Structure 1
Amino acid sequence: MSEDIYAKADMSKKVRYNRTVQEDKGEWEERTVVIYESTDVIRDDHTDNWSHGGGPDTERHPPAVQRKTFRAAALCLAVLCFLMMTGIILLSVYFTLLQTRYDQLINNYSWLQSSYQTLSVNHSQLQDEVKKLKNRIKVVVKSCPHGWTRFGHSWYFKSEEKKTWYDSRDDCQQRGADLVVINNDEEQEFVTELSKDGEFWIGLWYEWTQREWKWVDGSPLTEKFWAAGQPLHDSEWNPGTCCDQQGKWTQGYYNDNRKWICEKIII
């Protein structure tokens, strides 16, 4: 009996059952209803429901097309995130470089501005000095003392009396000058013309401790206008004179009495 109860029902057969229905007048009527459904029909219904996504397995396991679409979307999102992060990093580096360059330009501008201000101050000072020198030259030219001759940036005094070399130099120093120093060809021609009536003491002497010719201002002898055979071997006792008939330098003994030429630099 129990086996019959748990036996699998045969759903492929038709089933007939009787149903008693009460009508309005209280009479009962028995009707017979035939059910034609079969398990095949039931299976078809379930198949239709599953094909429309109604089955429980469908909810847990999406179709392969949906899974591929989801993966592609996730991959695209990851790529977009990577590109955004890369762009942010590159922009950050770029702005850092721009800021560094901007700071450098600011520093350079500050340095240039400071240099310009310094140059402006120096320029103003130089202009003032040039103005003072011009005024001084004007005053000096106007106040050229009697008996002096101006050439270039110096005054020259030609004596009319004769003295030794040391006494001649002492006279020039008392006048605020010194014996003439000849630095170039033009000055040599001027002194030659100034001393055309004799040989005058000039500021050239032999420094015996250093064994070399020097000018009285301490500068070395660079331009030389010696006459033939000059200077002599015992030069330490023979200062220079100017000039002979050919306009060349000669020598005279220290204690000889000669005329002299003084030079005072005016600027």
Structure 2
Amino acid sequence: MSADAVAAPRLSLNVRYNRNVQETSGEEEESQVEILEEEEHHADLGPQRAGPHTQNKPAANNRRRLKAAAVTLGGFFLLILAALFIRCTVLQIRYDQLSNNYTQLQGKVSETCCPDGWKRSGRSCYFKSKEKKYWFDSRADCEERGADLVVINNKEEQKFVSELSKDGESWTGLRYVARQEGWRWEWLDGSPLTETFWGPGLPHSGSYAACCNQQGKWTQSYSDTKTWICEKKIK
């Protein structure tokens, strides 16, 4: 065989190889183009294919956020209500304490409303003298103290005055006076006797009343000197 015969087939093979390579290469390029186009096509269709599921996810997330926000706000309002309830309870307790303190203070003030040397009973202050004077002089002393001789209106006051005068009889504000309708016993404030506590056999006409004998009853006298009891109303 000659060298030319051997070389021809090689040349033919190279050409085919190259063509094959070119053809193969062309197919690969076409394949690549087709693949790229296919991928681009899928990329364009991607959101459309996943549409229902993808759209549901944001809505579900929003609902979860709203629910969490509602729970948070609900807890916040509950805390506010609890704080207000506690505050109201504390204020009520403080109010009750202040009210009790005011009542106690008011009682102490009422006790100190009477001047020194006076005793309080009900709505009046009472002064019991230690010296003795006639009735008119006794009344003058009470008037100088801004008061007058005691007026006994009920059993409670009668008992109180009896305790003050337990060491002897004291002048009261009860006197026998002349009026248009005649003579009668009358208190210095002009009030008539609605309840009396005279001793046995009394009263006689004339003179002034004193309180009290050993039995806690009223007596009457005119020219004697006695201690006296002044009364001053608490305003």
Q: TM-score scaled to structure 2, two decimals? A: 0.52
- Match of residue 246, structure 1, among 200, 215, 219: 215
Larger radius of gyration, structure 1 or 2?
A: 1
Deviation at 1:140, TM superposition (A): 4.9
1:219 aligns with 2:223: no
Q: Deviations over 1:153-174 (max 9, x none)?
A: 0000000001100000010011
Total equivalences in the alignment: 130
- Match of residue 176, structure 2, among 206, 214, 219: 206
Q: Deviations over 1:81-119 (max 9, x none)?
A: xxxxxxxxxxxxxxxxxxxxxxxxxxxxxxxxxxxxxxx
Distance in 2, Cα, partners of 1:199 & 1:143: 27
Distance in 2, Cα, partners of 1:142 & 1:227: 35
Distance in 2, Cα, partners of 1:137 & 1:212: 40
Distance in 1, Cα, partners of 2:106 & 2:231: 18
1:154 aligns with 2:124: yes
Q: Which has the higher helix share?
A: 2
Structure 1 residues not aligned, in runs of 5+: 1-134
- Match of residue 148, structure 2, among 178, 184, 197: 178
- Match of residue 263, structure 1, among 228, 231, 234: 231
Q: Indicate the RMSD between aligned Cα atoms, in angstroms.
A: 2.0
Structure 2 residues not aligned, in runs of 5+: 1-104
State the secondary structure of the residue aligned to 2:228.
strand
Deviation at 1:208, TM superposition (A): 2.4
Deviation at 1:138, TM superposition (A): 6.5
Q: Which runs of 4+ in 1 moved over 2 A?
A: 135-144
Contact map agreement 2:151 2:173 (CA 8 A) in 1: yes
- Relative to 1, partners in 2 of residues 1:212 and 1:167: Cα closer, same or farther, differing over 3 Å? same
- Relative to 1, partners in 2 of residues 1:138 and 1:263: Cα closer, same or farther, differing over 3 Å? same
Q: Residue 203 of structure 1 aligns to which amino acid in structure 2?
A: G
Distance in 1, Cα, partners of 2:142 & 2:107: 22
Distance in 1, Cα, partners of 2:171 & 2:125: 16
Q: Residue 138 of structure 2 aligns to which amino acid in structure 1?
A: S
Q: What is aligned with 1:5?
A: none
1:195 aligns with 2:165: yes
State the secondary structure of the residue aligned to 1:173.
helix
Distance in 2, Cα, partners of 1:240 & 1:136: 36
Deviation at 1:139, TM superposition (A): 4.7
Contact map agreement 2:149 2:228 (CA 8 A) in 1: yes
Q: TM-score scaled to structure 1, two decimals? A: 0.46
Deviation at 1:142, TM superposition (A): 2.7
- Relative to 1, partners in 2 of residues 1:176 and 1:193: Cα closer, same or farther, differing over 3 Å? same
State the secondary structure of the residue aligned to 1:240.
strand
Q: What is aligned with 1:118?
A: none
State the secondary structure of the residue aligned to 2:186.
strand
State the secondary structure of the residue aligned to 2:115.
coil
